[in-house]
Amino acid sequence: MPVNRCGVLLALALGVGGCGTAAAVQHATPASAPTQSRPHAVQPHGVQPHAVQPTAGVQAPTANLQVQQVSPGPVWDPTAHAPSLSQIRRELRLEYVAAHATSATYINPLRYVTCCGVWERTDQGVDATMPVGSPILAPSRVKILGIEPNWYAGQPLIYFELLAGPQAGKIQYVAEEITKLARPGSILQQGQTIARFASSGTGIEFGWSTPNGLTLARATTGAEGGAMTAAGMWMRSWLNSVGAHAGPNTH
């Protein structure tokens, strides 16, 4: 893409504000899916997969994987009609809050990788696996901006904006082997469930995104597939800073 467009997209990724509204973002077809194949997800050695029951938007456990059954939360409807890519990009900008940095601290959103899963390579984001049903947690108060239901190999991607902490206003995503996604437009408190690890797929990818419907890696470098990127390295560094013990970058 032209250099001037890259600069604009990078500026958006680093917190340039948009106008927030209450409009609900629908899910959409992807701009393009990464072309390089991903390894199949594996369960950590010695860990027996078992379901963790909380629904999206429900407070996650603090000590172990045994979670009390709860009533359904604000879960995205996977059967809803998918609007065009141009519409999801427009609605991402409409949902974007442009939150300001605060002194709030973050929690590890992938604690079930840290305790019971496997950290994998760095590419557009950081790849990982965890026990089936494990929740991906809101690292702070977040707003769910949108969903792409077929981002890679028929698996979804969910965008969410950090509304507190030093990176408030920046957008993160989790993609691929996820299910029970929180509904676009909803606001989750720190520790609530964004999505859960699905029973099959290609593992998860957790990374930085932009309000333009592109990962930060693609927006700034055009990277796809398994190439290690600066955006991916930044995400691993951020995860380590919030106590995830994700280790060094690997490829």
The 10s digit of each residue's pLDDT in 214-241 is 899 998 988 777 789 999 999 999 999 9
Supply 32's token pair. 């393009």
Distance, C-alpha 102 to centroid of its chain: 21
Mean pLDDT score of the chain: 76
C-alpha torsion sign, points 68, 47, 114, 216: negative
Q: Which residue has the tokens 């690997």?
A: 250
Q: Please tell me the pTM assigned to this model.
A: 0.70
pLDDT mean over 162-183: 97
- In terms of average pLDDT, the best of 12-16, 31-35, 239-243 is 239-243
Q: Which residue has the tokens 């380590």?
A: 240
Q: Is the CB of residue 187 less than 8 Å from the CB of residue 158? A: no
pLDDT over 60 at 43, yes or no: no
pLDDT of amino acid 96:
82
Q: Is the CB of residue 195 less than 8 Å from the CB of residue 157? A: no
Comparing 55 with 120, the larger pLDDT belongs to: 120
- Residue 119 CA: distances (Å) to CA of 9, 27, 93, 216, 247: 29, 28, 32, 21, 8
Percent share of the chain, pLDDT over 70: 64
pLDDT over 60 at 37, yes or no: no
Q: Is the CB of residue 130 less than 8 Å from the CB of residue 179? A: no
Could you give the dihedral angle defined by the CA atoms of residues 238, 135, 85 and 24, in that order, rounded to the nearest 10 degrees? -110
Query: d(Cα 194, Cα 183) in Å, to the nearest integer?
Result: 9
Name the nearest CA neighbour of 249 among 127, 107, 129, 152: 127
pLDDT over 50 at 19, yes or no: no
pLDDT of amino acid 85:
67
**What tens digit of pLDDT does each residue of 61-110 get?**
443 443 333 333 455 555 555 556 677 677 677 778 889 999 999 999 99
pLDDT over 80 at 23, yes or no: no
pLDDT over 80 at 190, yes or no: yes
Query: d(Cα 165, Cα 43) in Å, to the nearest integer?
Result: 32
Describe the strand order of the beta sheet including 155-162 as a list of residue ranges.
118-122, 126-129, 204-209, 171-176, 155-162, 142-152, 187-188
- Residue 115 CA: distances (Å) to CA of 8, 118, 129, 133: 38, 9, 11, 14
pLDDT over 70 at 208, yes or no: yes
- CATH second-level architecture of 3-241? Distorted Sandwich (2.70)
pLDDT of amino acid 79:
54
**What tens digit of pLDDT does each residue of 126-164 get?**
999 999 999 999 999 999 999 988 889 999 999 999 999
